[in-house]
């Protein structure tokens, strides 16, 4: 009989690192390589693609941050789409009325937070089915914005890029990363902050405990309801910011249902990023890149029907989700309302 009880062979730290991050590293290096190569061929188009990648990814990563704050504390939020849309609309309205962009962004964020509060109330206090709670928010947002929006409202400008000195002149990445409007910068910061909070602070430890084993947290004196409320409300605020990005930074005006499924793609981004902010960022950039390249290819003179090119982002999603991500571990208590005895 074969000896199957062999000890695992020794692995060096480098091998372990490569095993864990190898694919990610390969993809990142590949993307950088192709980008530089493309830049040699067509500088303008390449810069456009890189900048567009960042632009497209911003609302996705914000939406994913919203989703993962909720799910890490075990509240499933499929109402991101609605929170974003309502945030976008209220931000737009305040901009129309006051012309103060700062107030407009604040209003969008507050709107998102209120919608977060509504979701938390439904799923934590009323212990409603969280999928239904999220759907309520989506339908509510679609209905409210559709009803109150009047064609012909004119905005008073949008957020402008702020170049960060000489950094903005670096080829390729300069214009894309260091010459952005404020919400995009805020997104970069938020990803890092949420990552830090979730994995290095007391609040984060409690949040993750509540998402995995709420009773354990409860028996140690952690207030499960408070943790869930605060996380879902903060998530809502971030979704509101994503809405503000759409109306106040990217487009500058409002259209009906303008979120166009971004809230749901954000959920995919969150799962793809394994419920971590940095992972979600990487995932959002990939989605953004697929979208950007698709737009460029449609301009290019290629003999492929444009519908096929339009499929690219979705195709990429399927390949990546099925092939490279591996197992995602969902927080154990995700979606289960906590019953205090």
Partner 1 sequence: MAENLALEIRNVTKRFPGVIANDNVSFNLRKGEIHALLGENGAGKSTLMNVVYGLYAPDEGEFLVNGKKVEINGPHDAINYGIGMVHQHFMLVPVFSVTENMILGSEVTKGTSLDLKRARKEILEISEAYGLEVDPDAIVEDIPVGVQQRVEILKALYRKANILVLDEPTAVLTPQEAEDLFRVMRHLTEKGVSIIFITHKLKEILNVADRVTVMRRGKVVGHTTPAETDQQGLATMMVGRDVLLEVEKAPAQPKDVVLSVENLTIKDERNVSVVKDISFDVRAGEILGIAGVQGNGQTELAEAITGLRGIDAGEITLSGERIPFEKPRWLVEHGMGHVPEDRHKHGLVLPYDLADNMVLCTYYQKPFAGAFMVRNRDAIQKNADGLMERFDVRAPSTAVAASTLSGGNQQKVIVGREFSRPLKVLVANQPTRGLDVGSIEYIHKEIVKMRDEGVGVIVVSAELDEILSLADRIAVMFRGKIVTVIDAKDATREKLGLWMAGSNPDEE
Binding site residues, partner 1, CB under 8 A = 1, 4-5, 200-202, 205-206, 208-209, 212-213, 215-222, 329, 332, 341
| CB 287 to partner 1: min, Å | 27
- 210 versus 293: smaller Cβ distance to partner 1: 210
Length of the chain in terms of residues written: 341
| Closest among 89, 92, 120, 119 to 104, alpha carbons compared | 92
| CB 203 to partner 1: min, Å | 9
Q: Which residues pair with 179 in a beta bridge?
A: 163
- 4 versus 12: smaller Cβ distance to partner 1: 4
- 252 versus 335: smaller Cβ distance to partner 1: 335
- 78 versus 227: smaller Cβ distance to partner 1: 227
Q: What are phi and psi of 284, to 5 degrees?
A: -65, -40
DSSP per position, 81-142: HHHHHHHHHHHHHHHHHH--HHHHHHHHHHHHHHHHHHHHIIIIIS---HHHHHHHHHHHHH
| CB 237 to partner 1: min, Å | 20
- How many CA within 13 A on the CB side of residue 171? 12
Instruction: Please tell me the distance from the alpha carbon of residue 282 to that of residue 22, in angstroms, as a whole number.
Output: 14
Element (H, E) at 162: strand 162-163
| CB 326 to partner 1: min, Å | 16
| CB 20 to partner 1: min, Å | 15
Cβ contacts of residue 219 below 8 Å, gap of 6+? none
- 96 versus 197: smaller Cβ distance to partner 1: 197
Q: What are phi and psi of 249, to 5 degrees?
A: -125, -45
| CB 73 to partner 1: min, Å | 13
- 128 versus 144: smaller Cβ distance to partner 1: 128
């Amino acid at each position: 009989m074969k000896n199957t009880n062999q000890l695992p062979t020794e692995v060096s730290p480098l091998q372990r690192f490569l095993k864990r991050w190898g694919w990610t590293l390969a993809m990142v290096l590949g993307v950088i390589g192709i980008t530089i190569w493309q830049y040699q061929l067509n500088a303008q188009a390449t810069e456009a693609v890189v900048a567009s990648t960042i632009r497209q990814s911003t609302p996705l990563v914000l939406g994913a941050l919203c989703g993962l704050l909720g799910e890490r504390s075990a509240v499933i939020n499929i109402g991101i789409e609605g929170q974003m849309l309502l945030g976008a609309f209220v931000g737009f309205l305040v901009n129309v009325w006051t012309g103060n962009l700062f107030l407009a962004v604040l209003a969008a964020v507050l709107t998102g937070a209120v919608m977060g509060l509504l979701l938390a109330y439904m799923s934590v206090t009323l212990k409603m089915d969280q999928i239904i709670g999220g759907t309520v928010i989506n339908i509510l947002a679609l209905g409210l914005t559709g009803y109150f929006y009047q064609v012909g409202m004119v905005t008073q400008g949008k957020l402008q890029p702020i170049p960060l000195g000489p950094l903005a002149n670096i080829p390729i990445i300069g214009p894309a990363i260091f010459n952005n409007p404020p919400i995009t910068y805020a997104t970069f910061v938020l990803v890092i902050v949420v990552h830090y909070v979730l994995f290095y602070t007391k609040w984060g430890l409690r949040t993750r405990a509540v998402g995995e084993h709420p009773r354990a947290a409860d028996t140690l004196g952690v207030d499960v309801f408070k943790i869930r409320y605060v996380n879902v409300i903060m998530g809502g605020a971030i979704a509101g910011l994503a809405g503000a990005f759409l109306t106040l930074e990217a487009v500058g005006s409002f259209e009906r249902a303008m979120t166009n499924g971004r809230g749901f793609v954000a959920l995919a981004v969150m799962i793809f990023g394994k419920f971590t902010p940095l992972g979600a960022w990487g995932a959002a950039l990939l989605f953004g890149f697929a979208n950007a390249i698709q737009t460029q290819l449609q301009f290019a003179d290629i003999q492929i029907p444009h519908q096929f090119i339009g499929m690219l982002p979705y195709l990429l999603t399927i390949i990546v989700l099925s092939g490279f991500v591996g197992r995602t571990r969902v927080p154990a208590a995700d979606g289960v309302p906590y019953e205090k005895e």
